[in-house]
Chain A
């Protein structure tokens, strides 16, 4: 059974930094492109970043480019999102999501809440 478990969320002040992690199990992590999708409280879904299986291809949404960095460690079956210069509008649940191809998201973690507030 596929499991994606996020950790590392919490409360951070505007301008601060935070790293969210995702531990994957139950599938061949090292052959899948992985993504981060976020959802602000009471709002819709927003894709923010993807990383190919060998980290060769990385993409970001305009809203986070230059502030967020996605990475992965295939030996540890782990995905990371390093967030810096955080803004109040970055407050959201951050989901770790596996891709079955062509940005089709088949498995989602339970999410990790990041709150940016002074």
Chain B
């Protein structure tokens, strides 16, 4: 099974900052990676698919990159509304796996 590892677990930043979080796969998954945003008490929301494609309606400050085993999610110009936990997920095989999440806190 493919394992996903995210870092850091918690990321604290100020409004306006550029923040980067990473996701590593235990084996190559090409660009079959998605990112989800989850706010407390809510269901996750798809924000990035196929590593670097932004889902419709998602602000352009969110961007994804990477391929193979190393991926990143960047928020350019952090807003208070971006406070959430972000999960990566491999879509490479029939048994998808999520990372453990990165919680973004606003200072």
Contacts and interface: CB of A to CB of B under 8 A. Distances in A.
Interface in A74-112: 95, 102-106, 108-111
Contact of B87 (A45, A59, A103): A45
A46 B46 contact: no
A108 B98 contact: no
B80 interface: no
B96 A95 contact: no
A59 B45 CA distance: 23
A55 to B, nearest CB: 15
Contacts of A47: 95-98
A50 interface: yes
B43 A95 contact: yes
A10 B72 CA distance: 38
Given A95-B43, A111-B43, A105 B97 contact: no
